[in-house]
Structure 1
Amino acid sequence: MTAVAPDPILEGIDLVKRFGGGGLLASPTIVHAVDSVSLSIRRGETFAIVGESGCGKSTLGRLLLRLIEPTAGDIRYEGRSILSLDPKEMRQLRRELQIIFQDPFASLNPRMTVGDIIGEPIWLHGLAKGSERRERIAELLRTVGLLPAHVDRYPHEFSGGQRQRIGVARALAGEPKLIIGDEPVSALDVSIQAQIINLLEDLKERFGLTLVIIAHDLAVIRHMSDRVAVMYLGEIVEFSTTDELFDNPLHPYTQALLTAIPVPSPVNRSPKPLLQGDVPSPTAPPSGCRFHTRCPHARPICKEQHPSLETAGDGRKVACHFWREIQNAGASALSASPQSAALAKRMALYTSWRERQDQVTNPSRK
């Protein structure tokens, strides 16, 4: 991990997003997708947003890029609000803020060739024309480990990992400063995940990018992120550096996520605490602490009073009434647990692909 500058490049301030509840054709049910989320992403870092499926991670990522409009709150890029920009100004800003979508099979237009897909942002922003544009497309293909000869092929002719590389090349085409990866490897095999993760890390160093990675795979997060925000049911419940989060998780939900890491060896398996109950519906989130219906440490106040996101030292923040009492509930067990060993193996697998990926994307480094 690299040292990062303290100045924020992208900020979300009290972001709220609700779906439904208005209009003739809209559903009368209101979905509380994101609720009063504030975060600050530093220039040059890799920032991770983690949580279970349906917790609002992807919605938050799209809000930060203004791909969807927030119900309330503000989004600031390099100190200025982007919500006040008109469509023309927003289109110009799209060059600097890009996204890699989760599904490489659905995010590429099947009627466009690879050259057209990657070349569209170059044409749209007037970055190059004619032979120069073709050369830029060829260079982008080489950068992500594909061949310039692939330029006239269609997406269906590629594997999942190759399609995701095309998505990465498309995101790079506009010369962005920040890229959000919305679960960019979740649909891929483990070995292919390693290649894409290493590719993203290499591109970050090469182009000076800021990365925001949305994921539920904790091995991916531990491997590449500098700081982590943990989301539950539309809210952020813990902020921390990656090392501190894994060494000493403060929120009971974070502890549960870490202990849920699967163990491949049946010999080393041991009983682990399970969360009680089901995930509440975002259409009717619980009162007080939203996690209290599943929390093993819940008390009456948790149902009655919503916990604020308070500072826990060294830049950490946690939203729990009793985090001081329970902060070591899972830390000591995690440090030597089979789940931790399994995570280490996953990390080693990712790292082992780095040299091979370097040879593919940068033959001169051999």
Structure 2
Amino acid sequence: MGRRLLRVAFASRASAVLTGSALDDLVAASAARNRQSRLTGVLIRSDEILLQWVEGPPDAVCALMQRVGQDPRHHDPRLLAAGWIDRRRYPHWPMRLLALSLQGHAPSPPMPPDLPDPFAAARAFDEAAVHHLSALRRRSAWNADAVSFAKQLVRGLCEVPGALPGAVPAPVRSRAAFVDDVCAELARGWMTDGWSGADVSLGLMRLYLGLHRMRRCPEPAAPRRSVLILRPSAGTEVVSAMVKADLFRAAGWSVRLALDPGEATLARVLAATGCCPIVIAGGRLALGHGRIEANDFATRLRARCPDRLVVAGGCDAGPLAEWPERLEFLVDVQGTDAEVPVVWPMIAAIASPHRRPFEHRWRLIVP
């Protein structure tokens, strides 16, 4: 296995001169330099806040962060998260500028008041990833397939579908993106086309049966992280829990999945999974009480397990396909002390390619 990549996310406040064409010039210069250093990422602007994601060879990332700390155009750069990744999230963007909202998505882990809410930052990076993916695939063709397939599900034209439409690529992430499109069409049909709640529920059940008959992702032989996925007892949708489990396993996570756990089962599962993060599977259709139930269940679990990261899913939690990157970012946020300055020259020396590789035994911790 080759050397792993380092991912760093940080926030800063733009100086008064970093507006309009000056910001465009900065991004263009950064992209040109990043191509030479094999770095990729995105720069998000929301009012005066700059939010940046950089990924690539660890020594090149550390050298860039050292320059950022000395750049007067970035006021008070603060580290949000840093950690090892196995694949790039923005492989075709040496650097891209996007204007996105950083509105908070409470509740969230406590953060210094001058930093973006980590859930808002995670959602912004999700949106950027959607922009990146949309530029690479034939989105209109995918969407047309999703619209047609949703209608077939509701009308019962595919009672027990053996697979999703052939236009959908095999990778799990592509399958997740297609499921998102189908669920969005089911929700739209319920709201505008007169489909009944029973029609949509049957459509979701047929979608679940089709997914269930597809090849599932096995547990990784050597998992690098673990996650517990729970579906609340009052939840009516299992599709998102199934897709999330496949996504995490494909990304190298060990997954424990519990559907409708009673109190005794929940207590055993929580004890057996230690301190790994918890994802609550919420509905993807924004209909009924599924989203409210997921958020309420997450709130109760946070009170019960104050030392564990608990994240509620659902249609307002971002794209299904981005869940492994989203959770990994939030886990790294919790493990980062934003008040402690990072000595980037020291980290760069540790990560230098001239040293003996040992990154498989080292997870970045802010000194």
TM-score, normalising length from structure 1? Answer: 0.26
Write 1 or 2 for the structure with the bigger share of helix: 2
TM-score, normalising length from structure 2? Answer: 0.26
